[in-house]
Amino acid sequence: MNKNRCIALFSGGLDSTLSVKYMEKLGYEVIPVFFETPFFTAKNALEAAAAVGIDLHVHDISQEHMQMLLNPRYGYGKNMNPCIDCHGLMFAKAAQLLEEYDAAFLISGEVLGQRPMSQRFDAMNAVRNASKVKDIIIRPLSQKLLPDTKPIRAGWVDKEKMLALQGRGRSKQIEMAKEWGIHGYQSPGGGCLLTDKVFSKRLKDLIQNQQYNLRNIQFLKVGRHFRLTENCKLIVGKTSADNKRLSDMVEDEVVLKTKEYPGPLGVLQFNKYPDDNEIELAASILLDYNNKAAEKAIVSYGKNYNLNKDIEVKKNKDKKEFQIL
C-alpha cells in the first residue's frame, strides 16, 4: 500500500479537476477514476481529463447502480437522482480498486455546502456511511472543515495543507483554475439524466411495468414515448437523427413505418409480443405524428425491420387511449 498514492473520484467538473491537481501539487500520485452507468457516460469526463493532461480510468458499474436505484437507502432528490447512495456506491467501488492500483486512500472534489442534497455536512457523513469505507476519504477542497479521517490521523495527509472551501459560490475555484491554466471545465451538477424530469418519468414507467433493464434504458434518451398497455410501449422518432438512432438500436423490437409516406419510425417494446389491438393503437399514433400522411393510411410492421405485415389505420386523435411519457 503506497501511502503517497490515492484514487480520485473524477467527474470532469471544475471541483474534481482542482482536487486532483491540488493533491498532485502537494506531491501525491493521483489515480483519477470515473464510474460509468446508463445515466451518465464517460464522454465529457474523458474530454475534460484530456484537456488538462489527466489520464482517466473508466469503470462500468451499470448493474450495481441499477440495482441500487430501485431502493436507495437515502431516497431520491427532486427526480430519480439518489445522490447520497450514488456517491456512497462510487466510494465503495473505488475502495475495491485500492489494491489493484496500490493506493492507500480516496479523494473527491466535493465542497461542503455546494449542493443541497449530497454536500451538506450531514449528507457528506451519510455518503461516508453508505460507502462503508468512510475512514479513508479525503475531500481536499473542504477537508479543514471536516472530521479527521485515517489519512490525516496516520500522517499521510497534512490537514494544514488542505483547503476550507464551502458554500455555493465558486469564485475561489475559478481563481485557482485561472492560476493553474485550467479552461473549458464543465458546470457543476451537469450530465446526470436522473436529475431530468422527463427522463425520470420514463424510467419510473419502465420500473412499474417490469421493463427495467439496461437495453430498454438506452431507448429512453431518444424520441417520443407512449405507454400503450402494461405490456407494451411505443417510441416514435422526432427527427431524422432520432430515426437513425432508433434503427441502429433495434434488435428484437417491433418496428413500424408508414408504407406510402416518409416520416417517423416507430419502435414497440414489450414483455410479450403485442396483440392486434396494441399493434393497431401503435400504428394509429405513429400515423398521427406523420404530417405528410393522409388521415387514413397503411402502416407496415414486423420484428427488426422485417416489415412483412401491413395494417390500415386512421390517425389517432384520442389521447385518452394511451399515456404520453
Predicted confidence (pLDDT) at residue 196 exceeds the cutoff of 50: yes
- What's the pLDDT score for residue 304? 81
Kindly state whether residues 118 and 149 are assigned to the same domain: yes
Do 31 and 172 sit in the same domain of this protein? yes
pLDDT of residue 306: 87
Domain shared by 7 and 92, yes or no: yes
CB 173 within 8 A of CB 15: yes
Most confident of 167-176, 209-218, 299-308: 209-218
Confidence at residue 168, expressed as pLDDT on a 0 to 100 scale: 77
How high is the pLDDT of residue 123? 61
Domain of 295, in residue numbers? 196-324
Name the pTM for this structure: 0.86
Domain boundary among 150, 173, 193: 193
Q: Are 199 and 62 in contact (CB under 8 A)?
A: no
End position of a domain, from candidates 178, 193, 208: 193
Top pLDDT among 320 and 195 is at: 195
What cell numbers appear for 159 in the block?
490537514
Condensed to tens digits (0 to 9), the pLDDT of residues 64-96 reads 999 999 999 999 988 999 988 999 999 999 999
Asked whether the predicted pLDDT for residue 322 surpasses 50, the reply is: yes
Out of 164, 193, 222, pick the residue that ends a domain.
193
Regarding whether 117 and 24 lie in a shared domain, the answer is yes
**pLDDT for 107 beyond 70:** yes
pLDDT for 134 equals 73
Cα radius of gyration (the chain)? 24
pLDDT-based confidence at residue 4 (cuts at 50, 70, 90): very high
Q: What percent of the chain has pLDDT over 70?
A: 92
Helix (H, G, I), strand (E, B) or coil at 235: strand
Q: How many other CB atoms are found less than 10 A from the CB of residue 189?
A: 14
Indicate whether 41 pLDDT > 60: yes
Query: Does residue 119 register a pLDDT over 60?
Result: no
Residue-wise pLDDT tens digits, 126-139? 666 666 677 899 99
pLDDT for position 118: 45
Phi, psi of 156, deg, nearest 5:
-70, -30
| CATH for 153 | 3.40.50.620
Question: Do 165 and 231 lie in a common domain?
Answer: no
Judge if 66 and 173 occupy the same domain: yes
Task: Give pLDDT, residue 244.
Answer: 95
Identify whether residues 48 and 181 lie together within a single domain.
yes
Number of domains in the chain: 2
Q: Give the pLDDT score at 183.
A: 77
Instruction: Give the separation between CA 104 and CA 4, rounded to whole angstroms.
Output: 7
Mean per-residue pLDDT over the chain, rounded: 91
Helices 83-95 + 62-70 axis angle, to 10: 140
